[in-house]
Structure 1
Amino acid sequence: MTSTDIELVEKANTAFYEAMERGDFELLSALWLNDEISCVHPGWPVLSGRGEVLRSYALIMANTEYIQFFLTDVKVSVAGDTALVTCTENILSGGPAEAAGELGPLVGQLVVATNVFRRTSDGWKIWSHHGSPVLTETEDEEDEDSPS
């Protein structure tokens, strides 16, 4: 493993999120392996195969007017031709508003993600993406848990 490998994986990981932000389905598709791939979006079942996975992104892009990812806690490790990226996706998104031409309310969400990449002759490609929501306690829940 070289620092160049880590940099290339970081670049591929960043390209994945930037493609989502821009709604660039063609680029997003090119970032995935052509082999058997898998994806878990928060709250969704496991999606397997290129058709199912890419269809899910097409649906998300078609129904999301605005999305921005702020990645934190990014960690990259490379072992041979496989790389693992873990990160926290701090997501800001909004869908279409009821009034034409306006953006709906923006919603923030925290998701922890694991992205697995495989080295190919065309560079690092996504093999699997798994996102899980981060559940946070509200102040009311914290008060209920504390002893009286």
Structure 2
Amino acid sequence: MTAYETPEDAEDAYYDAIDESDLEKMMSVWSDASQTVCLLPMQPMQHGKQAIRGMWQAMLNPSMRVDITVNHLQWSNFGEIAIHVVEESVLVPAMGERQPPIYATNIFHKVDDGWRMLMHLNSPAPPPEGMMPPGMPGQ
């Protein structure tokens, strides 16, 4: 199994696996811990490495390829836990247009052989200022 020396290395491998449609690289990033969770937009939450593998196996089909640009918003490291908040800008080449941005939280933990992803959680970014429906917070 690949050893990731830093949480940043593991995160880079995660996004590289998506870019390369590489299931084995994707799964090398994930922790074996029972608390491992992946929640992607419009997908049911997946618990455990086997469920996560099944979801990514379907999604990493080269015909469903996406191009993700990542903007790092905040990195917080607490000893053996690291929390990264990023903004993902997704281009679906088959559609030819960028999708609205998505915020993601990537949580990593350090294990004997390096850093592994424990949780990946997504949320749609709020609409641009002035585009919020009436009565929504933030207006």
User: Residue in 1 aligned with 2:53?
Assistant: 54
Match of 1:136 among 127, 131, 137: 127
Alignment of structure 1 residues 1-148 onto 2, 5 Å = 8-36=6-34, 37-62=36-61, 64-94=63-93, 104-109=94-99, 110-136=101-127
Cα separation, 1, equivalents of 2:65 and 2:104: 20
CA contact (8 A) 2:72 2:84 kept: no
Equivalents in 2 of 1:63, 1:137: separation in Å?
A: 32
Pick the structure with greater CA Rg: 1
Greater fraction of residues in helix: 1
Q: Distance in 2 between matches of 1:134 and 1:48?
A: 24
Judge which range, 66-75 or 49-58, deviates more. Answer: 66-75
The answer for unaligned runs of 5 or more in structure 2 is 135-139
Task: Output the aligned Cα RMSD.
Answer: 2.3
Partner Cα distance (1:60, 1:132) in 2: 18
Equivalent pairs: percent with the same residue? 23
For residues 128 and 51 of structure 1, the distance between their equivalents in structure 2, rounded to whole angstroms, comes to 14
Amino acid at match of 2:96: L
- Counterpart contact for 1:10–1:76, Cα < 8 Å: no
Unpaired runs of 5+ in structure 1?
A: 1-6, 95-103
**TM-score normalised by L of structure 1:** 0.76
**Deviations for 1:83-103, whole angstroms, at most 9, x for unmatched residues?**
101000011123xxxxxxxxx
SS of the residue aligned with 2:6? Answer: helix
**Structure 1 outlier segments of 4+, above 3 Å:** none
Q: How many residues align?
A: 128
Query: In 2, Cα distance between the equivalents of 1:64 and 1:114?
Result: 26
Select between 104-113 and 29-38 the one with higher mean Cα deviation: 104-113
Q: Which amino acid aligns with 1:107?
A: E
* Secondary structure at 2:60 match in 1: helix
Q: CA separation in 2, counterparts of 1:8 and 1:112?
A: 21
Q: Which amino acid aligns with 1:108?
A: R
Normalised by the length of structure 2, the TM-score is 0.80
Relative to 1, partners in 2 of residues 1:84 and 1:137: Cα closer, same or farther, differing over 3 Å? closer
When residues 22 and 81 of structure 1 are mapped into structure 2, their CA distance, relative to the original with a 3 A threshold, is: same
> CA-to-partner distance for each residue in 1:56-78, whole Å, 9 max, x for gaps?
11111126443111111332111
